Amino acid sequence: MAKLDARRLPGFLKDPGATRVVLLHGEDAGLVRERADALQQAVTGGDDPFRYAELPREAAGKPGALSAEMSALAMTGGRRMVRVRDATDAVAGGVKEALNAPGDTLLVLEAGEMPARAKLRALLEPHPQAAVIACYRERGAELAGTIATLLREQGVTAGPAALEWLAGRLGEDRMMLRREVEKLALYAGEGGRLGEEDVLACIGDGSTLDLDEALIAATAGEIGVADRALDAALAEGAHPVMIVRAALRHVQRLHLAALAVAGGTSPGQALDGLRPPVFFRNKPGFERALRCWSPAALAAAGDALLEAEKRTKSSSAARPIPDQVIAREAILALGRQALAARRRN
């Protein structure tokens, strides 16, 4: 079966058929777990202890351990499922044995990011009784569609602008996404419909809103406002890596809008053309920022932020500059450059 494409995935999670081994891997641990839970529900109907077993990774790597579980029969009848969390290439030998075990038990392996050369992927992708499913974070229209689907499951709908706003802020982890959708569903009530003001009132936590304000102010050359908003975002728990990544996304969006303006589009139309479009409350700040930057300057700012991100992610214990200082300097550097451009204009 090899790798599954997105169109076949929903049906497979409801009925994996004769597949014996499923490898779920990728950067989104919440999505990996969600899909493993879906397979468990499809195969065993829930938490039936006679049809479900979970092996620690260390035990799964021992010769014969997985094969024994794969060959076992459920006392109450029905298909069994075996689950191994945090799987690595260390279990590849046991998985190879398990594929030859008798029975119809389904083995589900939950793993982090795995390169194409990983032993588990090399073993399972060409195997006719295995499925390999990548679990990467959704973004943009794909994420907005998922949010809409999750809301519909709760009996709630949302307008396009509200979905785009949510998609711009809820794409880091699937477990967090589900929690926020549940919060929105409670806020709206069954049969309710969410608009932009509703999602802002319900989801717009302090750190996110303060960080938005800091980035918009910085790129508009308003250094004092940016510094105060950044202090508030950090106090609310914003992580330095998150700050630099948010700044990079912000600069990339400004770059796209600046290119459109350079081509003759009005600033308002350029911002409306972004996906997701700029939230209506932020448009004035974006327009002020566009007057401060050329496309080339924004491209250079993006390169500088990529370098800052690398520095915040460094694991060296000897690093002399704390992550917060790196993030703050990266944001305030945007502010100084924008302010200099404002003074020249």
User: What separation, in Å, do the N-terminal and C-terminal C-alpha atoms of the chain show?
Assistant: 60
* CATH architecture for residues 2-134: 3-Layer(aba) Sandwich (3.40)
**Domain 140-203 carries which CATH code?**
1.10.8.60
pTM (predicted TM-score): 0.57
For 260, the token pair is: 């459109």
284: tokens are: 């004035």
How many of the other CB atoms lie within 10 Å of CB of 94?
Answer: 25
Q: From the DSSP assignment, how many helices (H) and strands (E) are in the chain?
A: 17, 8
Please state whether the peptide bond connecting residue 276 to the residue before it is cis, i.e. omega within 30 degrees of 0: yes
Compute how many other C-beta atoms are within 10 angstroms of the C-beta atom of residue 284. 12
**Tell me, what's the pLDDT at 92?**
95
Chunked in runs of 10, what are the mean pLDDT values of the chain (345 residues)? 74 94 90 92 85 91 91 86 94 94 94 92 94 85 86 91 78 73 86 83 61 88 88 79 86 92 86 76 87 92 89 59 84 91 81
Domain boundaries, the chain: 2-134, 140-203, 206-344
Q: What does the DSSP 8-state code read for residue 12?
A: H
Identify the CA nearest to 254 among candidates 197, 221, 216: 216
Query: Which letter does DSSP use for residue 282 in this model?
Result: G
Contact of 113 with 25, CB cutoff 8 Å:
yes
In angstroms, the CA 59 to CA 126 distance is 25
CATH of domain 206-344: 1.20.272.10
Between helix 283-290 and helix 206-219 the angle, nearest 10°, is 30
Q: How far is CA 273 from CA 57, 146, 166, 264, 265, in A?
A: 48, 22, 17, 13, 10
Q: Are 286 and 271 in contact (CB under 8 A)?
A: yes
Helix (H, G, I), strand (E, B) or coil at 130: strand
Supply the pLDDT for residue 3: 66
